[in-house]
Structure 1
């Protein structure tokens, strides 16, 4: 599998190479966690997926999450898909 060339930029403008990075997990001090997936296995072709918890139950377990998917399109266009998913037992165990 080939990985995209990823470069991170620090607050002071320094560029950092990020070889073979496939996921960034974001845990805010407040709010629900998010994950940025680079070429996730469950999607075909090149894509970037931002998955954000959107609903918690009374025990603070995420019950729903929103997904924003960006895919490169033809002629410098980007396809955007926005979805909402309920967690099932398989997702919660992962």
Structure 2
């Protein structure tokens, strides 16, 4: 299991709020496919942040593929970025 980073939220008034147990944020839009932000997900090694968004639906509006954007801290203030596409069928197996 990955260690969790210290997380803070910022209110519209600029107040900082500690979020010690936050691991996932689900974003549900009025239109479009939902997105999920995962903080240090267990399926990735080391510190990371992943943003997962469905990218293709079938005729029944079920997500068949999803895109993953992975951000990792790199050396010397560099951010490593990976972009991947996964099939839901491969994930379910």
Residue of structure 1 in register with 2:78 after alignment: 77
Matching residue of 1:24: 25
Q: Number of aligned pairs?
A: 92
Equivalent residue for 1:53? 54
> By how many angstroms is 1:17 displaced?
1.0
3-state DSSP of counterpart to 2:76: helix
Aligned-pair Cα RMSD in Å: 1.6
Give the ranges of 4+ consecutive aligned residues of structure 1 lying more than 2 Å apart after TM superposition. 89-92
C-alpha separation in 2, matches of 1:4 and 1:14: 19
Q: Secondary structure at the match of 1:75?
A: coil
Structure 1 spans left out of the alignment, 5+ residues: none
- Considering Cα pairs closer than 8 Å and 6+ residues apart, tell me whether 1 or 2 has the greater RCO: 2
- Give TM-score, length-normalised by structure 2: 0.90
Residue aligning to 1:9? 10
Residue by residue, what CA displacement relative to the aligned partner does 1:14-37 show, whole Å, maximum 9, x if unpaired?
211111211001111100010000
Deviations 1:47-89 (A, max 9, x none): 0000001111111111110000001111111110001111116
Asked whether the equivalents of residues 39 and 50 of structure 2 are also in contact (C-alpha less than 8 Å), the reply is yes
The TM-score, its normalising length taken from structure 1, stands at 0.89
Structure 2 gaps of 5+ residues are: none
